[in-house]
Amino acid sequence: MKQKVPSNAQAFLAPAKLNLDLRITGRRPDGYHNLESIFCLIGLYDTVFLALREDSLIRLHTPTDDLPPEQDLAYRAAVLLQQYCGIRQGVDIWLDKRIPTGGGLGGGSSDAATVLMALNKLWQCAIPRKKLIDLGLSLGADVPFFIFGQNAFAKGVGEDLISMDIPNNWYVIVKPDVHVSTAIIFSHQGLTRDSKPSIMPTFQALQPFRNDMQAVVFESYPEVKEAYQYLKEYGRPQMTGSGACLFLSCSSRQDAEAIYSQISNQYQAYCVAGLSKHPLFDI
């Protein structure tokens, strides 16, 4: 982050996520897809800095990928909450990005969720979690999960969430040098859209895990397939979300760090622990 954050700004963490399993069970009349997925929080974070203003201005000082600020999810989250609650205060926002964009790790959605949760406290809105989740859904399908704040089995477009116990694994994540367009993948003619819905979803019952978008991404983005083939030497890799990131699950930190040391010279890579709860879960 190039801009210096003033000392009066408060820091809030925004963790990334992995889709350990992702299936597309149908297409809705509104064009969206019905999904089923296991969402897992991981210890890879953006940091959101917030400083309240006396006037009503909302200013994002570090827009992601040089987007116009009004298109950034973090900015839009602040505007949404301000308008919903009739707040007269404003806020200055800085984002220290560590989660790669275009990777399927949910960084933009997580930033937006953290803004909603933090400003709900700082502006004293006192909106209950369920209502905050509803607000978050209007920003993006992954935002509700981060506000939900626990590892979960998700249905619908991602808003129907049930908490799920997930083993305390470590993960090695690789980001191929390509930005995958979610819109292109969802509109692809070859995308699997008819996976059978789960009757009693549990972590064990859904194994072996898969990602219904993976084959289409491999076809459209050969860089992702190449990274997948490389990672197969170390285990059973899988893509998260609509890509481009791939991950390996490891039962111990030692195993994860050993693999990371082998691949980090070849690819942009991360070695992180799974989380059981969002850092702001109790805010």
Q: Is 142 a catalytic residue?
A: yes
How many Cβ atoms from other residues are within 10 Å of residue 168's Cβ? 12
Indicate which residue of 111, 142, 175, 225 is catalytic: 142
Query: Is 106 marked within a binding site?
Result: yes
Query: Is 108 marked within a binding site?
Result: yes
Query: Is 104 marked within a binding site?
Result: yes
Q: Is 111 a catalytic residue?
A: no
How many Cβ atoms from other residues are within 10 Å of residue 198's Cβ? 15
CB 154 within 8 A of CB 77: no
Query: Is 135 marked within a binding site?
Result: no
N residues, the chain: 283
Query: Is 31 marked within a binding site?
Result: no
Indicate which residue of 17, 155, 175, 225 is catalytic: 17
Query: Is 243 marked within a binding site?
Result: no
Sign of torsion, CA 191 193 196 201? positive
Query: Is 190 marked within a binding site?
Result: no
Catalytically active residues are 17, 142
Binding-site positions for ATP read: 100-110
Question: What are the binding residues?
Answer: 100-110
